[in-house]
């Protein structure tokens, strides 16, 4: 079946450095992708999203890159801060303009920022 997965389960980065979190997806028909941040004991928070007709989208200190050729998604966080420590996971949706019942979530990468 289709799946969304992550290359690395844990990532440690020195404070102030940039971090890159990767996500592989297997459904070439997926049209919309989202990155979430989840702090311990809390619900996921939206970070940034991207549609399949784009290959890059930037937000505040974050950039999402989409490579449809190899079905790969990445989240880049610039100048990491202690507050960036969390689990990050990606999600894909086949039909972005309708309900979320078709969202498929990845397993997550735990990012730890080292002071």
Residue 29 CB, shortest distance to another protein, in Å, is: 18
Residue 33 CB, nearest approach to another protein (Å): 12
- Enumerate residues 29-88 that contact another protein by CB under 8 A: 34, 41-46, 48-49
Q: Give the Cα separation of 109 and 11 in Å (integer).
A: 7
The 10 Å CB-count burial string (b at 16+, else e) for 47-70 is bbbbeeeeeeeeeeebbbbbeeee
Return the residue matching tokens 């990491």.
Answer: 80
Q: In whole angstroms, how close is the CB of 8 to another protein at the nearest point? A: 13
What are residue 37's DSSP bridge partners? 45, 88
Q: Which is nearer to another protein, 12 or 14 (CB)?
A: 12
Q: Which residues make up the interface to another protein (CB under 8 A)?
A: 4, 9, 34, 41-46, 48-49, 89, 91, 96-101, 103-108
């Amino acid at each position: 079946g289709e799946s969304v997965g992550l290359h690395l389960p844990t990532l440690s980065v020195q404070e102030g450095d940039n971090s890159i979190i990767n996500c592989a997806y297997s459904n070439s028909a997926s049209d919309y992708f989202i990155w979430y941040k989840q702090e311990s004991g809390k619900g996921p928070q939206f970070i940034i999203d991207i549609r399949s007709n784009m290959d890059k989208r930037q937000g505040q200190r974050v950039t999402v890159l989409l490579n449809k050729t190899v079905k790969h998604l990445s989240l880049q966080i610039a100048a990491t801060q202690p507050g960036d420590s969390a689990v990050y996971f990606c999600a894909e949706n086949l039909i972005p303009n309708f309900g979320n019942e078709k969202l498929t979530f990845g397993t997550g990468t735990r990012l730890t920022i080292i002071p």
